[in-house]
Structure 1
Amino acid sequence: MTRSLTIHFDPAQAEQFLLIHRVQNFGEDVFRELRVTQWGEIDIHEVDTATDCLVVRRIANSKVRRLKAWIEREMARQHLKGLVEIG
């Protein structure tokens, strides 16, 4: 069985166009990390059209907490605020 993570970015942290750009850049970083680690999948087409939310799918149960922690650390490193939900 696989799980998913939904990343909701706080829209109050930047004006809309700046936030969209930062969310898409962050999504590209997540995409690259997942290609290396094989912990899950994120659709690059969704990343390219993202505005304030990203979804990582097909995460093995054994990797979901590790990936969530990595995403939260990476968000903090890039000064992005938001919530990561396990689904």
Structure 2
Amino acid sequence: MLKGIDRIVYGEAGGAEAFRYLHIQQWFTEPTPERQKLQLRAADHSLMCQRALYDKVVFPVGDSPFGGKVDFFEEQRANTEASEDDTAS
């Protein structure tokens, strides 16, 4: 299982498949305090489990459309910053 996750995090996949792992890779490379505030999508959990267990994607997982800044946790950061601003006031 850990070898499969290691392959995802360190980018052993190539081509279009590698694009699917960007969200997971960013999550793993965030500093620990930041990572603890962020949540992976259900599709990411499924993708990690399938890749780690079977070394391939057996069942299709939904992908959200790519666009904007390459920060897959942008929405969560905005919500966290707004909450912190409210408590500081």
Q: Which protein, 1 or 2, shows the higher relative CO under an 8 Å CA cutoff with sep ≥ 6?
A: 1
TM-score above 0.5, yes or no: no
TM-score, structure 2 as length reference:
0.29
TM-score by length of 1: 0.29
User: Larger strand proportion, structure 1 or 2?
Assistant: 1
Q: Which has the higher helix share?
A: 2
